[in-house]
Amino acid sequence: MDVELEEEHRLVEEAQRGNLDAMRPILERYASPLYGTVILPRLGDTVSAEDILRDTLATAVEKIGRFTWQGKSIYPWLRQIAINKVFDLHRQAKRSRRLADAMAHEIPVESDPASHADAQLMADQERRAHRDRIDDAMGQLQERYRVAIELRLIQELPREDCAKRLGVTIGTFDVLLFRAVRAFRKHFGERAPTIGET
Amino acid sequence: MARNDDDDILTSAVPEPDAEMTPSERAQAKTFAELVDKTLAGRTPPAMSTDDRALLEVATVIRVAHGGLELSAAKKRSLVEEALRRGIGGAASTTSGDVAAVTPIRSSRAKRWAPWVVASVSMGLAAAAVLVLWLRTPAHDQTAQAFSHDDDSLIGPIAREHSGDASARIDAIFADRLDGFRDRRLTVRTRGGKP
Protein backbone atom coordinates (compact mmCIF):
# COMPACT_ATOMS: atom_id res chain seq x y z
CA MET A 1 0.00 0.00 0.00
CA ASP A 2 1.55 3.35 -1.01
CA VAL A 3 -0.35 5.47 1.43
CA GLU A 4 -1.38 3.99 4.76
CA LEU A 5 -4.73 4.86 6.29
CA GLU A 6 -3.19 7.26 8.82
CA GLU A 7 -1.20 8.95 6.11
CA GLU A 8 -4.35 9.15 4.01
CA HIS A 9 -6.17 10.77 6.92
CA ARG A 10 -3.37 13.31 7.33
CA LEU A 11 -3.41 14.13 3.61
CA VAL A 12 -7.19 14.54 3.61
CA GLU A 13 -7.00 16.92 6.58
CA GLU A 14 -4.25 18.89 4.91
CA ALA A 15 -6.32 19.16 1.73
CA GLN A 16 -9.34 20.27 3.74
CA ARG A 17 -7.20 23.02 5.28
CA GLY A 18 -6.61 24.37 1.77
CA ASN A 19 -3.50 22.56 0.52
CA LEU A 20 -5.23 20.77 -2.34
CA ASP A 21 -1.89 19.51 -3.62
CA ALA A 22 -2.01 17.03 -0.73
CA MET A 23 -4.64 15.17 -2.75
CA ARG A 24 -2.08 14.08 -5.34
CA PRO A 25 -0.87 10.85 -3.61
CA ILE A 26 -4.46 9.86 -2.87
CA LEU A 27 -5.60 10.40 -6.45
CA GLU A 28 -2.57 8.59 -7.85
CA ARG A 29 -3.28 5.64 -5.60
CA TYR A 30 -6.95 5.28 -6.45
CA ALA A 31 -7.05 6.33 -10.12
CA SER A 32 -6.31 2.81 -11.40
CA PRO A 33 -8.85 0.90 -9.27
CA LEU A 34 -11.50 3.49 -10.07
CA TYR A 35 -10.80 3.14 -13.78
CA GLY A 36 -10.38 -0.63 -13.94
CA THR A 37 -13.00 -1.84 -11.47
CA VAL A 38 -15.61 0.92 -11.24
CA ILE A 39 -15.78 3.02 -14.38
CA LEU A 40 -14.62 0.99 -17.37
CA PRO A 41 -16.63 -2.18 -16.55
CA ARG A 42 -19.74 0.01 -16.39
CA LEU A 43 -19.06 1.87 -19.63
CA GLY A 44 -17.10 -0.44 -21.87
CA ASP A 45 -15.59 2.57 -23.62
CA THR A 46 -12.04 3.60 -22.77
CA VAL A 47 -12.38 7.19 -23.99
CA SER A 48 -15.54 7.85 -21.97
CA ALA A 49 -14.01 6.04 -19.00
CA GLU A 50 -10.98 8.33 -19.01
CA ASP A 51 -13.28 11.36 -19.19
CA ILE A 52 -15.31 10.09 -16.26
CA LEU A 53 -12.18 9.35 -14.24
CA ARG A 54 -10.88 12.87 -14.92
CA ASP A 55 -14.21 14.37 -13.81
CA THR A 56 -14.30 12.14 -10.73
CA LEU A 57 -10.85 13.19 -9.58
CA ALA A 58 -11.56 16.87 -10.25
CA THR A 59 -14.84 16.68 -8.31
CA ALA A 60 -13.03 15.02 -5.43
CA VAL A 61 -10.50 17.86 -5.30
CA GLU A 62 -13.24 20.50 -5.50
CA LYS A 63 -15.46 18.90 -2.85
CA ILE A 64 -12.87 17.52 -0.44
CA GLY A 65 -14.10 20.07 2.11
CA ARG A 66 -17.42 18.21 2.31
CA PHE A 67 -15.84 14.82 2.94
CA THR A 68 -16.20 13.54 6.51
CA TRP A 69 -13.50 11.20 7.73
CA GLN A 70 -15.06 8.16 9.41
CA GLY A 71 -11.92 6.21 10.18
CA LYS A 72 -12.06 4.45 6.81
CA SER A 73 -10.49 5.05 3.47
CA ILE A 74 -11.64 7.82 1.18
CA TYR A 75 -11.94 5.25 -1.63
CA PRO A 76 -15.69 4.48 -1.16
CA TRP A 77 -16.41 8.19 -1.40
CA LEU A 78 -14.41 8.46 -4.63
CA ARG A 79 -16.12 5.34 -5.94
CA GLN A 80 -19.56 6.78 -5.29
CA ILE A 81 -18.65 9.98 -7.14
CA ALA A 82 -17.49 7.84 -10.09
CA ILE A 83 -20.67 5.74 -10.10
CA ASN A 84 -22.84 8.87 -10.01
CA LYS A 85 -20.98 10.23 -12.99
CA VAL A 86 -21.39 6.96 -14.88
CA PHE A 87 -25.14 7.12 -14.21
CA ASP A 88 -25.22 10.71 -15.43
CA LEU A 89 -23.45 9.70 -18.63
CA HIS A 90 -25.88 6.83 -19.21
CA ARG A 91 -28.79 9.19 -18.68
CA GLN A 92 -27.35 11.86 -20.97
CA ALA A 93 -26.67 9.32 -23.69
CA LYS A 94 -30.10 7.79 -23.10
CA ARG A 95 -28.51 4.40 -22.96
CA SER A 96 -31.55 2.60 -21.71
CA ARG A 97 -30.51 -0.73 -23.14
CA ARG A 98 -30.40 -3.63 -20.78
CA LEU A 99 -26.67 -4.07 -21.03
CA ALA A 100 -26.03 -0.46 -20.09
CA ASP A 101 -28.32 -0.85 -17.11
CA ALA A 102 -26.67 -4.11 -16.21
CA MET A 103 -23.21 -2.59 -16.26
CA ALA A 104 -24.26 0.56 -14.41
CA HIS A 105 -26.10 -1.23 -11.61
CA GLU A 106 -23.64 -4.01 -11.11
CA ILE A 107 -22.80 -4.85 -7.47
CA PRO A 108 -24.68 -1.92 -5.94
CA VAL A 109 -24.34 -3.07 -2.32
CA GLU A 110 -20.61 -2.46 -2.44
CA SER A 111 -21.21 1.29 -2.51
CA ASP A 112 -21.75 1.19 1.25
CA PRO A 113 -18.59 2.65 2.77
CA ALA A 114 -19.37 1.32 6.25
CA SER A 115 -18.92 -2.27 5.14
CA HIS A 116 -15.45 -1.75 3.68
CA ALA A 117 -12.53 -0.76 5.78
CA ASP A 118 -9.90 -1.31 3.18
CA ALA A 119 -9.91 0.23 -0.26
CA GLN A 120 -7.76 -2.43 -1.84
CA LEU A 121 -10.04 -5.15 -0.52
CA MET A 122 -13.03 -3.32 -1.90
CA ALA A 123 -11.44 -2.96 -5.33
CA ASP A 124 -10.40 -6.62 -5.34
CA GLN A 125 -13.89 -7.75 -4.42
CA GLU A 126 -15.39 -5.64 -7.13
CA ARG A 127 -12.94 -6.91 -9.70
CA ARG A 128 -13.62 -10.50 -8.69
CA ALA A 129 -17.38 -10.01 -8.79
CA HIS A 130 -17.17 -8.48 -12.25
CA ARG A 131 -15.01 -11.35 -13.44
CA ASP A 132 -17.49 -13.87 -12.00
CA ARG A 133 -20.37 -12.24 -13.84
CA ILE A 134 -18.44 -12.27 -17.09
CA ASP A 135 -17.49 -15.92 -16.59
CA ASP A 136 -21.11 -16.80 -15.78
CA ALA A 137 -22.27 -15.19 -19.01
CA MET A 138 -19.48 -16.96 -20.92
CA GLY A 139 -20.64 -20.24 -19.44
CA GLN A 140 -24.04 -19.72 -21.03
CA LEU A 141 -22.53 -19.51 -24.52
CA GLN A 142 -22.20 -22.30 -27.02
CA GLU A 143 -18.73 -23.84 -27.09
CA ARG A 144 -17.63 -22.33 -30.41
CA TYR A 145 -18.79 -18.87 -29.40
CA ARG A 146 -16.96 -19.11 -26.07
CA VAL A 147 -13.76 -20.23 -27.80
CA ALA A 148 -14.03 -17.43 -30.35
CA ILE A 149 -14.28 -14.83 -27.58
CA GLU A 150 -11.46 -16.36 -25.55
CA LEU A 151 -9.08 -16.53 -28.51
CA ARG A 152 -9.78 -13.09 -29.91
CA LEU A 153 -10.75 -10.87 -26.95
CA ILE A 154 -9.01 -12.49 -23.99
CA GLN A 155 -5.90 -14.02 -25.54
CA GLU A 156 -5.94 -11.30 -28.20
CA LEU A 157 -4.69 -13.61 -30.96
CA PRO A 158 -4.76 -12.31 -34.55
CA ARG A 159 -7.84 -13.21 -36.60
CA GLU A 160 -5.83 -15.52 -38.83
CA ASP A 161 -4.62 -17.56 -35.86
CA CYS A 162 -8.08 -17.72 -34.36
CA ALA A 163 -9.51 -18.96 -37.68
CA LYS A 164 -6.81 -21.64 -37.93
CA ARG A 165 -7.48 -22.86 -34.39
CA LEU A 166 -11.17 -23.24 -35.20
CA GLY A 167 -10.47 -24.69 -38.65
CA VAL A 168 -12.46 -22.06 -40.53
CA THR A 169 -11.76 -19.21 -42.91
CA ILE A 170 -11.16 -15.71 -41.59
CA GLY A 171 -14.53 -14.59 -42.96
CA THR A 172 -16.28 -17.39 -41.11
CA PHE A 173 -14.38 -16.64 -37.91
CA ASP A 174 -15.44 -13.00 -38.17
CA VAL A 175 -19.08 -14.10 -38.28
CA LEU A 176 -18.54 -16.50 -35.37
CA LEU A 177 -17.04 -13.73 -33.21
CA PHE A 178 -19.79 -11.35 -34.27
CA ARG A 179 -22.47 -13.82 -33.23
CA ALA A 180 -20.56 -14.73 -30.07
CA VAL A 181 -20.44 -11.12 -28.85
CA ARG A 182 -24.13 -10.67 -29.66
CA ALA A 183 -24.97 -13.84 -27.73
CA PHE A 184 -22.79 -12.78 -24.81
CA ARG A 185 -24.52 -9.42 -24.73
CA LYS A 186 -27.90 -11.09 -24.49
CA HIS A 187 -26.86 -13.42 -21.66
CA PHE A 188 -25.04 -10.67 -19.76
CA GLY A 189 -28.04 -8.33 -19.99
CA GLU A 190 -30.53 -11.01 -19.00
CA ARG A 191 -28.60 -11.97 -15.89
CA ALA A 192 -28.22 -8.38 -14.69
CA PRO A 193 -30.55 -7.09 -11.99
CA THR A 194 -32.95 -4.37 -13.07
CA ILE A 195 -33.00 -0.93 -11.46
CA GLY A 196 -35.96 -1.83 -9.29
CA GLU A 197 -34.26 -4.92 -7.95
CA THR A 198 -31.17 -3.08 -6.78
CA MET B 1 -32.65 1.18 -46.40
CA ALA B 2 -35.50 -0.27 -44.36
CA ARG B 3 -34.53 -2.34 -41.34
CA ASN B 4 -36.28 -5.50 -40.29
CA ASP B 5 -35.85 -7.83 -37.32
CA ASP B 6 -33.17 -9.80 -39.11
CA ASP B 7 -31.12 -6.62 -39.51
CA ASP B 8 -31.39 -5.62 -35.88
CA ILE B 9 -28.24 -7.11 -34.47
CA LEU B 10 -28.95 -5.99 -30.92
CA THR B 11 -32.45 -7.37 -30.44
CA SER B 12 -32.92 -10.20 -32.93
CA ALA B 13 -32.19 -13.82 -32.05
CA VAL B 14 -28.59 -14.96 -32.45
CA PRO B 15 -28.22 -17.81 -34.97
CA GLU B 16 -26.54 -21.09 -34.06
CA PRO B 17 -22.81 -21.33 -34.85
CA ASP B 18 -23.45 -23.59 -37.83
CA ALA B 19 -26.39 -21.58 -39.21
CA GLU B 20 -26.12 -20.19 -42.70
CA MET B 21 -24.27 -16.89 -42.99
CA THR B 22 -25.90 -14.27 -45.17
CA PRO B 23 -23.84 -11.77 -47.20
CA SER B 24 -25.29 -8.98 -45.05
CA GLU B 25 -24.16 -10.71 -41.85
CA ARG B 26 -20.72 -11.37 -43.32
CA ALA B 27 -20.37 -7.66 -44.15
CA GLN B 28 -21.44 -6.63 -40.65
CA ALA B 29 -19.11 -9.19 -39.10
CA LYS B 30 -16.18 -7.97 -41.17
CA THR B 31 -16.81 -4.37 -40.13
CA PHE B 32 -16.97 -5.42 -36.49
CA ALA B 33 -13.83 -7.56 -36.82
CA GLU B 34 -11.93 -4.58 -38.19
CA LEU B 35 -13.17 -2.43 -35.31
CA VAL B 36 -11.92 -5.06 -32.86
CA ASP B 37 -8.57 -5.09 -34.66
CA LYS B 38 -8.23 -1.32 -34.25
CA THR B 39 -9.41 -1.39 -30.65
CA LEU B 40 -6.92 -4.09 -29.69
CA ALA B 41 -4.23 -1.98 -31.31
CA GLY B 42 -5.34 0.99 -29.18
CA ARG B 43 -6.78 2.91 -32.12
CA THR B 44 -10.52 2.82 -31.52
CA PRO B 45 -12.13 4.97 -34.21
CA PRO B 46 -14.27 7.76 -32.78
CA ALA B 47 -17.09 7.27 -35.30
CA MET B 48 -19.04 4.03 -35.70
CA SER B 49 -22.62 2.84 -35.83
CA THR B 50 -24.66 2.56 -32.62
CA ASP B 51 -24.86 -1.22 -32.98
CA ASP B 52 -21.13 -1.59 -33.51
CA ARG B 53 -20.45 0.66 -30.53
CA ALA B 54 -22.75 -1.44 -28.34
CA LEU B 55 -20.97 -4.65 -29.35
CA LEU B 56 -17.55 -3.09 -28.95
CA GLU B 57 -18.50 -2.03 -25.42
CA VAL B 58 -19.32 -5.65 -24.67
CA ALA B 59 -15.93 -6.70 -26.03
CA THR B 60 -14.24 -4.11 -23.81
CA VAL B 61 -16.18 -5.25 -20.74
CA ILE B 62 -14.98 -8.81 -21.37
CA ARG B 63 -11.40 -7.68 -21.83
CA VAL B 64 -11.31 -5.51 -18.72
CA ALA B 65 -12.66 -8.38 -16.59
CA HIS B 66 -9.67 -10.45 -17.65
CA GLY B 67 -7.16 -7.69 -16.96
CA GLY B 68 -6.70 -6.76 -20.58
CA LEU B 69 -7.06 -3.04 -20.00
CA GLU B 70 -5.05 -1.12 -17.44
CA LEU B 71 -4.57 2.59 -17.10
CA SER B 72 -1.02 3.42 -18.18
CA ALA B 73 1.21 5.23 -15.69
CA ALA B 74 1.62 8.21 -18.02
CA LYS B 75 -2.11 8.46 -18.59
CA LYS B 76 -2.80 8.22 -14.89
CA ARG B 77 -0.31 10.98 -14.12
CA SER B 78 -1.77 13.29 -16.75
CA LEU B 79 -5.35 12.67 -15.54
CA VAL B 80 -4.37 13.36 -11.92
CA GLU B 81 -2.51 16.54 -12.85
CA GLU B 82 -5.43 17.76 -14.95
CA ALA B 83 -7.89 17.01 -12.16
CA LEU B 84 -5.74 18.91 -9.66
CA ARG B 85 -5.47 21.87 -12.02
CA ARG B 86 -9.23 21.91 -12.53
CA GLY B 87 -9.95 21.39 -8.85
CA ILE B 88 -7.55 24.07 -7.67
CA GLY B 89 -8.85 26.44 -10.34
CA GLY B 90 -12.41 25.86 -9.13
CA ALA B 91 -11.39 26.48 -5.52
CA ALA B 92 -9.67 29.74 -6.46
CA SER B 93 -12.75 31.03 -8.22
CA THR B 94 -14.86 30.13 -5.17
CA THR B 95 -12.51 32.09 -2.93
CA SER B 96 -12.68 35.18 -5.12
CA GLY B 97 -16.47 34.85 -5.11
CA ASP B 98 -16.48 34.91 -1.31
CA VAL B 99 -14.35 38.04 -1.28
CA ALA B 100 -16.73 39.75 -3.67
CA ALA B 101 -19.66 38.73 -1.49
CA VAL B 102 -18.32 40.55 1.59
CA THR B 103 -17.51 43.87 -0.15
CA PRO B 104 -19.42 46.67 1.70
CA ILE B 105 -22.41 47.92 -0.26
CA ARG B 106 -21.50 51.57 0.31
CA SER B 107 -18.00 51.05 -1.01
CA SER B 108 -19.40 49.20 -3.96
CA ARG B 109 -21.81 52.04 -4.72
CA ALA B 110 -19.03 54.62 -4.49
CA LYS B 111 -17.02 52.59 -6.97
CA ARG B 112 -20.01 52.44 -9.25
CA TRP B 113 -20.58 56.23 -9.21
CA ALA B 114 -16.93 57.25 -9.58
CA PRO B 115 -16.82 57.13 -13.40
CA TRP B 116 -20.01 59.18 -13.65
CA VAL B 117 -18.62 61.86 -11.31
CA VAL B 118 -15.42 62.12 -13.33
CA ALA B 119 -17.39 62.31 -16.59
CA SER B 120 -19.71 65.05 -15.22
CA VAL B 121 -16.84 67.22 -13.97
CA SER B 122 -15.04 66.84 -17.29
CA MET B 123 -18.15 67.86 -19.23
CA GLY B 124 -18.69 70.91 -16.94
CA LEU B 125 -15.12 72.06 -17.49
CA ALA B 126 -15.45 71.62 -21.23
CA ALA B 127 -18.70 73.65 -21.27
CA ALA B 128 -17.08 76.45 -19.25
CA ALA B 129 -14.14 76.57 -21.65
CA VAL B 130 -16.49 76.83 -24.64
CA LEU B 131 -18.41 79.64 -22.92
CA VAL B 132 -15.24 81.60 -22.19
CA LEU B 133 -14.10 81.28 -25.79
CA TRP B 134 -17.51 82.41 -27.02
CA LEU B 135 -17.48 85.46 -24.77
CA ARG B 136 -13.97 86.43 -25.89
CA THR B 137 -14.74 86.17 -29.60
CA PRO B 138 -16.19 89.74 -30.11
CA ALA B 139 -13.08 91.42 -28.57
CA HIS B 140 -10.90 89.35 -30.79
CA ASP B 141 -12.91 90.42 -33.82
CA GLN B 142 -12.62 94.10 -32.89
CA THR B 143 -8.86 93.82 -32.55
CA ALA B 144 -8.66 92.08 -35.85
CA GLN B 145 -10.75 94.81 -37.41
CA ALA B 146 -8.56 97.54 -35.91
CA PHE B 147 -5.47 96.10 -37.53
CA SER B 148 -7.13 95.21 -40.75
CA HIS B 149 -5.61 96.46 -43.98
CA ASP B 150 -8.56 95.68 -46.14
CA ASP B 151 -8.64 99.29 -47.47
CA ASP B 152 -4.90 99.50 -48.02
CA SER B 153 -4.12 100.41 -51.58
CA LEU B 154 -1.33 97.84 -51.69
CA ILE B 155 -3.67 94.94 -50.96
CA GLY B 156 -6.16 93.48 -53.28
CA PRO B 157 -6.70 93.53 -57.03
CA ILE B 158 -5.60 96.63 -59.01
CA ALA B 159 -8.53 98.48 -60.46
CA ARG B 160 -8.51 98.93 -64.21
CA GLU B 161 -8.41 102.80 -63.92
CA HIS B 162 -5.20 102.49 -61.78
CA SER B 163 -3.49 100.15 -64.18
CA GLY B 164 -1.10 102.88 -65.30
CA ASP B 165 -0.05 103.89 -61.78
CA ALA B 166 2.74 101.39 -61.47
CA SER B 167 5.38 103.90 -60.33
CA ALA B 168 3.04 105.30 -57.69
CA ARG B 169 2.40 101.76 -56.42
CA ILE B 170 6.11 101.06 -56.28
CA ASP B 171 6.60 104.22 -54.26
CA ALA B 172 3.81 103.17 -51.92
CA ILE B 173 5.37 99.74 -51.46
CA PHE B 174 8.77 101.25 -50.81
CA ALA B 175 7.26 103.66 -48.24
CA ASP B 176 5.42 100.80 -46.59
CA ARG B 177 8.58 98.70 -46.35
CA LEU B 178 10.47 101.71 -45.01
CA ASP B 179 7.84 102.22 -42.34
CA GLY B 180 8.19 98.61 -41.35
CA PHE B 181 11.95 98.90 -41.22
CA ARG B 182 11.74 101.99 -39.05
CA ASP B 183 9.29 100.44 -36.70
CA ARG B 184 11.54 97.44 -36.26
CA ARG B 185 14.64 99.52 -35.71
CA LEU B 186 12.94 101.84 -33.24
CA THR B 187 11.41 98.95 -31.33
CA VAL B 188 14.75 97.20 -31.00
CA ARG B 189 16.45 100.34 -29.75
CA THR B 190 13.68 101.02 -27.23
CA ARG B 191 14.10 97.50 -25.80
CA GLY B 192 17.86 97.87 -25.62
CA GLY B 193 18.67 95.45 -28.43
CA LYS B 194 21.48 95.75 -30.90
CA PRO B 195 20.97 98.44 -33.63
- CATH label of the domain that carries residue A19: 1.10.1740.10
Q: Does residue A147 belong to any structural domain of this protein?
A: yes
Indicate whether A53 and A95 sit together in one domain: yes
Q: Does residue A124 belong to any structural domain of this protein?
A: no
Q: Does residue A63 belong to any structural domain of this protein?
A: yes
Q: Determine phi and psi for B136, rounding to 5 degrees.
A: -80, -15
Q: What counts of helices (H) and strands (E) characterise chain B?
A: 5, 0
Q: How many CB atoms lie within 10 A of CB B18?
A: 9
Indicate whether A98 and A23 sit together in one domain: yes
Indicate whether A154 and A191 sit together in one domain: yes
Q: Which of A29-43, A131-145, A161-175, B66-80 has the lowest mean pLDDT?
A: B66-80
Percent of chain A at pLDDT above 90? Answer: 46
Of B9, B60, B69, the CB nearest to A182: B9
Q: Does residue A46 belong to any structural domain of this protein?
A: yes
Quick one: closest CA in A to B75, which residue?
A50
Indicate whether A50 and A86 sit together in one domain: yes
More confident residue, A122 or A171: A171
Q: Does residue A126 belong to any structural domain of this protein?
A: no
Looking at beta carbons, which residues of chain B come within 8 Å of A19? none
Last residue of a domain, one of A71, A86, A117: A117
- To probe the interface with B, which of A178, A188, A191 has the most B CB atoms within 10 Å? A178
Give the closest-approach CA distance of B107 to chain A in angstroms: 29
pLDDT in tens, A82-128: 999 998 888 877 654 545 555 555 544 444 544 445 777 888 888 88
Decide if B172 contacts B162 (C-beta within 8 A). no
Q: Would the CB atoms of A182 and B82 count as touching at under 8 Å?
A: no
Decide if A101 contacts A192 (C-beta within 8 A). yes
Indicate whether A15 and A92 sit together in one domain: yes
Report whether pLDDT(B96) > 50: no
CATH code (residue A187) = 1.10.10.10
Q: What is the mean pLDDT of chain B?
A: 75
Q: What's the confidence (pLDDT) of residue A171?
A: 93
Indicate whether A51 and A106 sit together in one domain: yes
Q: How many CB atoms lie within 10 A of CB B2?
A: 4
Cα separation of A102 and A105, whole Å?
Answer: 5
Percent of chain B at pLDDT above 90? Answer: 15
Cα separation of B93 and A193, whole Å?
Answer: 42
Q: Does residue A127 belong to any structural domain of this protein?
A: no
Indicate whether A22 and A70 sit together in one domain: yes
CB-based contacts of A133, cutoff 8 Å, min separation 6: A106, A188, A191, A192, B65
- To probe the interface with A, which of B8, B14, B49 has the most A CB atoms within 10 Å? B14
Indicate whether A105 and A14 sit together in one domain: yes
Q: Does residue A101 belong to any structural domain of this protein?
A: yes
Give the closest-approach CA distance of A70 to chain B in angstroms: 23
Q: Does residue A29 belong to any structural domain of this protein?
A: yes
Q: Which of A143-157, B73-87, B157-171 has the lowest mean pLDDT?
A: B157-171
Q: What's the confidence (pLDDT) of residue A126?
A: 84
Report whether pLDDT(B103) > 70: no
Indicate whether A55 and A94 sit together in one domain: yes
Indicate whether A24 and A95 sit together in one domain: yes
Domain that holds residue A144: 140-198
Cα separation of B60 and A88, whole Å?
Answer: 20
Q: A76, A81, A73: which is closest to A53 by C-alpha?
A: A81
Indicate whether A166 and A76 sit together in one domain: no
Our count of domains for chain A comes to 2
Indicate whether A13 and A98 sit together in one domain: yes
The H or E element that residue B7 is part of is none
